[in-house]
Amino acid sequence: MSGGNARRRRLVLHVDLNNTVVAGDAVSGQGPRAALNTFLSTVTWGRPGAAGEWQWVSDRPSLGPPCPGALSYYSRHGRDPAFTEAGPGRRFGSLHARHLQLLEWPDGPHDAFSVEGEGGKRYHLILPAFFRLLAALHRDGRSFAVVFRTFGTDLPRALRAVAGALAGQHPQFPALRDVALPVDLTPGQIRCSKRGVVLTRGVERLTSREDGRKLYDYFSSFEGIGGFQDHFDWWARNQFSSRGGKPLWIDPHDPDVHHIFIDDNIRPDPADTIVDPQVFSERGSRSPRHVPTSELYDICLVQTDLLEAIADEDYFLRCVRRCEENYNHYVSRMEKDSPGQLWDGQ
């Protein structure tokens, strides 16, 4: 398969909100300062010393452990909304301050696109990197849709903000008015059980119980921008493992669509990750297999680096392009493993 074919695939981007495109958490009431602290506690690494004291093994945040045996601070102490303000996390205070400053809203107060933080300062509600992604995909003539997938309660506000930006109201991205994407302001729900997955939005209702392909087909033909609240209680009942995570269906036999999930809680460890990827291994199959994150990492699954997403407005675009290149290789490998099973004409 050529790179040109890959470029023509329709993109369906499943995008988390909290600490992915929104630096905050409506459920816990965290604003940008606390949310950035919480994220930093998940990407800084150390280990307990002989006396039980915390010892850092790296001065640089990273999504994965920098060396064997390293533990993230949060894995031992929990997520800390005041991480850089006391205790061992103080050494990352300047990093926190720098990225918090980058988050500051540069224009006059705008309730749709900015949020108030401590000290009366205002910050971006949705990261500029997300709007840059929409603008770049439109400029490249890509066919795409965006599905917000969150456990939280902030879907309505995020959808209204995106709708306003696409109406040309965002002072930094006026050209988004040219992006002809409809925004459905009605939040949907995804609920999981041992019997399967049930999706509802307005009058729409679909279930995977009889046919595992129904929800794949639904999202593959999704139009515009919308959002769903995923099932946090199911994730918690499954010990925050992939088996209770946000479901994502992948069909490498489909030449027309590439699904990508972007979430800060995607991790290679199946016992500590937030997405449940399910792959249709055979052409036309109705029963997907659950696969580990590692099989699709940076192919269909992106672990958000919030620091980079704040500092680099091309961050999400780079993530998507990297996934497209890797997905091309992934499909080619599968074609070699099962010749004749993928689509005709390749």
Q: How far is Cα 83 from Cα 183, in angstroms, rounded to an integer?
A: 36
Residue 151 belongs to what H/E stretch? none
Q: Is 5 a residue whose pLDDT tops 80?
A: no
- Find, among 285, 258, 256, the residue nearest to 345 by Cα: 256
User: By the 8 A CB rule, do 20 and 263 touch?
Assistant: yes
At residue 102, the 3 state secondary structure works out as helix
pTM of the model: 0.94
User: By the 8 A CB rule, do 156 and 163 touch?
Assistant: no
Q: What confidence score (pLDDT) does residue 321 get?
A: 97
List pLDDT tens digits, range 50-89. Answer: 998 999 999 999 999 999 999 999 999 998 999 999 889 9
* CB contact set of 329 (below 8 Å; sequence gap of 6+): none
Q: What confidence score (pLDDT) does residue 109 get?
A: 77
List pLDDT tens digits, range 209-233. Answer: 878 899 999 999 999 999 999 999 9
Q: What confidence score (pLDDT) does residue 343 get?
A: 38
List pLDDT tens digits, range 189-212. Answer: 999 999 999 999 999 999 998 788
Q: What confidence score (pLDDT) does residue 1 get?
A: 36
User: By the 8 A CB rule, do 88 and 61 touch?
Assistant: no
Residue 7's pLDDT band (boundaries 50, 70, 90)?
low
- Find, among 327, 313, 345, 339, the residue nearest to 277 by Cα: 327
Q: What confidence score (pLDDT) does residue 24 get?
A: 87
- Find, among 306, 141, 148, 323, the residue nearest to 250 by Cα: 323
